[in-house]
Amino acid sequence: MNSDWAALLDLLLAPLSEEDGWKVRRAFVQALETLLQDAGPPPFSPKHLRWARADALMTALTAPAEDGDILAWWLVLQVDWKAADEVEWQAQLMCKTHGLPDVFVWTPTPGGVPEALASFAAWLEPHGFCYRPWFRDEDAYAGFVVPHALAEAFEVAALRAVLDG
């Protein structure tokens, strides 16, 4: 795994136990290997590698528990541009993963997803966390919950990993 991506994963996986962190890392590597195998023989362009890593990250950061019905953790918010109703439940799962005691509640309004994300970001601030958007594509929104204490390190790691795919 690329050291820049390893550093980014270290920050994203901070709320998980060491064992669960290794599960995510393995899931990331397995998803990346599958995506690259499906892409054909190397060499891969930097753009293709960036997109493959981004897709693998999305796969690895959400994981069902052993029984498959209950989510063990949720580390990335990912919603379609018009799916405002999905923000609340994903935000709640992210809060649970990060050990936040309160529950984020949002009533859908005409402002849609951008308003829901702004509301979530504002709700996180007094709890010692911030929401960091990830501009993946034009049809969806994605982002991470990051403790204030790790926000600067996260920004640096995201830039170094070229987390824009």
84-142 confidence digits (pLDDT tens): 889 998 999 899 889 997 789 988 788 899 999 999 999 999 999 999 998 766 688 89
Looking at the 3D structure of the chain, how many domains does it have? 1
Within-domain flag for 41: yes
Within-domain flag for 165: no
Whole-number Å distance between alpha carbons of 12 and 16:
9
Higher per-residue confidence, 70 vs 45: 45
Within-domain flag for 83: yes
pLDDT at 66: 54
pLDDT at 4: 86
- Exposure string for 64-97, b = 16+ CB within 10 A, e = fewer: eeeeeeeebbbbbbbbeeeebebbbebbbbbbeb
Q: Which domain holds residue 96?
A: 3-160
Within-domain flag for 135: yes
Instruction: For residue 165, name the pLDDT band (cuts at 50, 70, 90).
Output: very low
Asked if the model's pLDDT at residue 32 lies above 70, the reply is: yes
Asked if the model's pLDDT at residue 69 lies above 60, the reply is: no
Q: Which residues contact 25 (CB under 8 A, 6 or more apart)?
A: 1, 9, 13, 60
pLDDT at 72: 66
